[in-house]
Amino acid sequence: MAKIGFIGLGIMGAPMAGHLQAGGHKLYLHDIKNPPFELIERGATVCTSGEEVARRADIIIIMVPDTPHVEAALFGENGVAGGLEAGKIVVDMSSISPIATKDFAKKINALKCEYLDAPVSGGEVGAKAASLTIMVGGSEVAFDKVKPLFELMGKNITLVGGNGDGQTTKVANQIIVALNIQAVAEALLFASKAGADPARVRQALMGGFAASRILEVHGERMVKRTFNPGFRIELHQKDLNLALQGAKALGVSLPNTATAQELMNACSANGMRGLDHSALCRAIEIMSNHEIAQAG
């Protein structure tokens, strides 16, 4: 049984922590809101700060929305860094800046502790099903120690390289996901406007080369108009911002990523930032004056 700290118990973090607890591990929890009662009922300990979590746990996992939140959790007042002792491992499973991640890792390493960046893909469904894809940056020694915990939360677990490489992989993932959502939205809207049943079009495409997880899951959301998150548009906006900022720093062009970001910006401007990212289709629908589920 490992002593695991978990900071950030939202849509993703709560079920992830639950899988660790179900695996027989002792949890020390901290969140800006009250941690889920079911975790406490099953024996988890609530801590008043990240510093207390770090003092009491050997492996500290962070799962919060953005780069500033990770920085505050680690180095803010009563943050994790204040409670660390040599030999402990900090695992950031948030999706944040690769550049900032390298800086955070250096600071944690200076305290004689290991640091892994281990962002995930799979959304709320993957978190609940323990089927997340986990892309990891850090030392092989630390990865081997934490891998049994990753295996309780996910299925496809890869040590990509050094610190920052996990976050870089997640940014690449988010580019692919966004462009696939855009492609599925355009295809289904085209089919619907032409008079075809988009549900049947989706079903037919699932048997061909256009088949994808996005067409399967988010295509169904677009047809059935079920845009409750999932993974919120505002979070995908953040990830695409990281991609475009990184592209500028690297001197490369990501034209389709920029277009997808503008569509998400349009959704956000129309009050949809809290919807699932499959609702990106709404921006295209507004421009086309036609909804996917509407008869052509």
Cite the active site residues: 170
Which DSSP string do the residues of 41-63 spell out, in sequence order?
Answer: HTTPEE-SSHHHHHHH-SEEEE-
Query: Coil, helix or strand for 135?
Result: strand
Residue type, 52: E
Residues β-bridged to residue 158: 135
Could you count the other beta carbons within 10 Å of the beta carbon of residue 45? 18
Q: Are 258 and 293 in contact (CB under 8 A)?
A: no
Q: Are 88 and 77 in contact (CB under 8 A)?
A: no
Closest CA to 116 of 79, 84, 144: 144
Distance CA 216, CA 66 (A): 28
The tokens describing 83, both together, are 């409670």
Closest CA to 63 of 140, 155, 149, 184: 149
Across 184-217, b (16+ Cβ under 10 Å) vs e yields bbebbbbbbbeeeebbebbeebeeeeeebebbee
The tokens describing 294, both together, are 């509407």
Distance CA 202, CA 230 (A): 20
Residue 13: which residues within 8 A CB-CB, separation 6 or more? Answer: 6, 31, 63, 64, 127
